[in-house]
Amino acid sequence: MSGQPRHPGLIRGYGAAAGVVLIWTGFILVSRFGGRSGLTAWDILALRLGTASLILLPLSRDLLDRRYWLDARLWALAMLGVLLYGVLVYAGFRTAPAAHIGILLSGLQPFLIAAVTWLLLGQRPERRRMAGLFGIAAGITCVAVPEFSHWSPALLLGDALILGASMTWAFYSVLVRRWGCEPWALTRFVALSSALLFLPVYALLLPKALDQVPTSQLLLQGLYQGLGPTIVAMLLFLQAVRILGAERLGALIALVPVLAGLSAAPLLGEALSPWLLAGLVFVSLGAWVAARPVPRS
């Protein structure tokens, strides 16, 4: 009887997590496509925040309440989850291939979230989740072996930027769960406050290359980045964190690098190998073990 009330909530949680995985897979592919164009990292972040703001501003009259704008926790989350993350990740997209991005940005999330949870909350991963993490580690290793065999200074810089973005997102994930923020208010606040800080600086000081790409590229980046990761995926992510917890969601997000690697082969012309297929098997099994509900006694 005790497990029944949780069942509908768990279904919503796993459904939200599936939506996050799919949107983030597309985010890697679309952002990598934009990074290979003439757009700068600043351009893509500006398109993301500008589009999201145009959509969210008419829906945010309640945010005029000053308690939102005086909440230091909301500002900290905006700095971590949008501005710092966005600057690092879009700069990394220029030189890091999609498979590297998937591994470092999403594949490492289960381990980084577990480490941050231990650091901030003092909670060590339970034994069953550790077994799942080992499976994920085996799968990520399979994907990484062929991908990280060749290095260049530009590639190393891109990977370092993506790793920094991944660490930033892990702290964001754990803090969101710890502070118990309401998803709809947080989604709107982080997007609008980040736009308020970034767009004037972008307009006045930062390099731009919006006229170097076709209008179709601008529309793709603006609409997908502004709607997908910033609004829809953020709402789904926050709901999944609230229901499943950051660690369980992090295990499911480990599916993103394998799906991105599989998709990048036909869409971006990047290599598909048996290592990637083996990685899919290990990561899928590991994510299932680490993310499934704990049986109640």
| pLDDT recorded at residue 148 | 66
Does residue 1 form part of some domain? no
Does residue 50 form part of some domain? yes
Does the pLDDT of residue 158 top 80, yes or no? yes
Does residue 131 form part of some domain? yes
- The H or E element containing residue 295 is none
Q: Which residue has the higher pLDDT, 259 or 129?
A: 259
Does residue 297 form part of some domain? no
Does residue 52 form part of some domain? yes
CA distance 21 to 240: 11
Task: Specify the number of domains making up the chain.
Answer: 1
Does the pLDDT of residue 278 top 90, yes or no? no
Does residue 93 form part of some domain? yes
Does residue 100 form part of some domain? yes
Q: What is the pLDDT of residues 18-62, one digit of tens each?
A: 999 999 989 888 887 887 788 888 999 999 999 999 999 999 999
Who's near 146: CB < 8 A, 6+ residues apart?
A: 271, 273, 275, 276
| pLDDT recorded at residue 36 | 76
- Residue 1 pLDDT level (bands cut at 50, 70, 90): very low
Does residue 142 form part of some domain? yes
The arithmetic mean of pLDDT across residues 264-283, rounded, is: 70
| pLDDT recorded at residue 123 | 83
- The H or E element containing residue 103 is none
Query: What is the domain range of residue 221?
Result: 8-291
Who's near 110: CB < 8 A, 6+ residues apart?
A: 132, 133, 136, 247, 250, 251, 253, 254, 290
Does the pLDDT of residue 3 top 50, yes or no? no
- Residue 297 pLDDT level (bands cut at 50, 70, 90): very low
Q: Are 96 and 155 contacting, i.e. CB atoms less than 8 angstroms apart?
A: yes
